Amino acid sequence: MADIRFVLPGSDTITLDGRTVDKLIRAGDGGAALLYLYAIRTGGALSVSQAAKIFCRSEKDISASMELLNRLGLLKYDETRAPAQKDELPEYTADDIKHELQNGSVFSFLVQEVQRRLGKLLTSDDLIKLFGIYDSLGLPPEVILHLVTYCIDENTRRYGPGRVPTMRYIEKAAFTWEREGIMSLEEAEQYLKQLEAKRSLTGEIKTILQIRDRELSQSEKRYVHGWISMGFSPEALELAYDKTLLKTGRLAWSYMNSIIVSWHQKGLHTVDSIRAKDGVGAVSQKKTPNKPATSPVDELADYERMKKFLEKMKEE
């Protein structure tokens, strides 16, 4: 096939300096590169929700790309940005709910199934919240039922059997799923598998950090989940923990995080690469002086002395 060459039009072009292009190429993230081009094209102002709609990606993916651009020094957060929008559903009335229940819509079936799974009748306020999840967030009915089952399982795991989640709890989880772009059963299953994997890794990391008989605080969770998202294994984090203890004598979260971020920036994520490039975790083996071998003659002399000693004890 002939080598086809392309050129940019002479007008309305965007110019990038070579160092910026090199950074984007080395990062190897096409989504981040596209996001950067869009930010340049629009004058640098960009929000997560806006970009998610434009590129048809989840807000989580956009945030990850923005974080990468921030680490590369190509994008910085606006310190004066507006506060994050609260997770609030539109205000619905009892008449709105009554109309939906009476016209034989899918929502009527959804209400019956949610009540069956929760084992209780929904109050007027519960119905309004459920309708908001269905109507405003746009989650499909089958995804909502999967969400309700997930919330029931979470409550059982935390508090034991018999305690069902509130509709407010389900509503908060629904906002999370909506932000993650979960709109099908397949996406829901994949998301729950990722949560379970993260929970398992978090448990291993808690053991390494010698945290027992308590849950992690929200700040501690942010640290741990951040390390997991960077791709560090529990074994690699154990090296950072050991280094932290040697330096501070305790679990200093910010200090340990600085070590891990430093490794991440250097591209060191495995135990072998960290030991090879950063000189961490190589345990020095102290040689134990070899004891001189005992000769058979010496052993026989010891035996004879012990025998005489025992005979003397009997005579006394």
Encode pLDDT of 122-160 as tens digits. Answer: 999 999 999 999 998 889 999 999 999 999 999 998 888
SS (H, E, C) 122-186: CCHHHHHHHHHHHHCCCCCHHHHHHHHHHHHHHHHHHHCCCCCCCHHHHHHHHHHHHHCCCCCHH
Q: Which two tokens stand for residue 295?
A: 């000769």
| pLDDT, tens digit (0-9, with 9 covering 90-100), for 53-104 | 777 777 777 888 888 888 777 877 665 544 445 677 888 888 889 888 888 7
- Residue 224 shares a structural domain with residue 163: no
pLDDT bin (cut points 50, 70, 90) of residue 283 is very low
pLDDT of 51 above 60: yes
| pLDDT, tens digit (0-9, with 9 covering 90-100), for 165-197 | 999 999 999 999 998 889 999 999 999 999 999
| pLDDT, tens digit (0-9, with 9 covering 90-100), for 245-258 | 999 999 999 999 99
CATH number, domain containing residue 157: 1.10.10
pLDDT bin (cut points 50, 70, 90) of residue 216 is very high
Q: What pLDDT does 12 receive?
A: 56
Q: What pLDDT does 287 receive?
A: 38
User: Pick the residue with more confidence: 309 or 232?
Assistant: 232
User: Pick the residue with more confidence: 9 or 48?
Assistant: 48
| Residue 190, in any domain of the structure | no
Q: What pLDDT does 306 receive?
A: 57
pLDDT bin (cut points 50, 70, 90) of residue 29 is confident
Amino acid type, 8: L
Rounded Cα distance, 238 and 303, in Å: 50
| Residue 256, in any domain of the structure | yes
| Residue 149, in any domain of the structure | yes
Residue range(s) defining the domain that contains residue 259: 213-278
Mean model confidence pLDDT for the chain: 81
| Residue 316, in any domain of the structure | no
- Residue 174 shares a structural domain with residue 234: no
pLDDT of 290 above 90: no
Q: What pLDDT does 56 receive?
A: 73
Minimal CA–CA distance to 151: which of 109, 196, 118, 197? 118
- Residue 140 shares a structural domain with residue 109: yes
C-beta pairs of 126-132 under 8 Å, 24+ apart in sequence: 126/167, 127/97, 128/92, 128/94, 128/96, 128/97, 129/89, 129/167, 129/168, 129/170, 129/171, 130/167, 130/170, 131/92, 131/96, 131/97, 131/100, 131/107, 132/89, 132/90, 132/92, 132/171
Q: What pLDDT does 145 receive?
A: 97
- Per the structure, how many domains does the chain have? 3
- Residue 57 shares a structural domain with residue 104: no
- Residue 175 shares a structural domain with residue 229: no
Contact by Cβ (8 Å): 182, 188: yes
Mapped onto helix, strand or coil, the DSSP state of residue 57 is coil
- Residue 99 shares a structural domain with residue 170: yes
- Residue 217 shares a structural domain with residue 262: yes
pLDDT of 262 above 60: yes
- Residue 234 shares a structural domain with residue 273: yes
Q: What pLDDT does 69 receive?
A: 81
- Residue 169 shares a structural domain with residue 229: no
Supply the pTM of this predicted model.
0.58
| pLDDT, tens digit (0-9, with 9 covering 90-100), for 30-39 | 888 888 887 7
Helix axes of 124-135 and 106-118: crossing angle, nearest 10 degrees: 120
Q: Which two tokens stand for residue 13?
A: 């072009």
Sign of CA dihedral 123, 124, 127, 132: negative
Q: What pLDDT does 142 receive?
A: 96
- Residue 178 shares a structural domain with residue 221: no
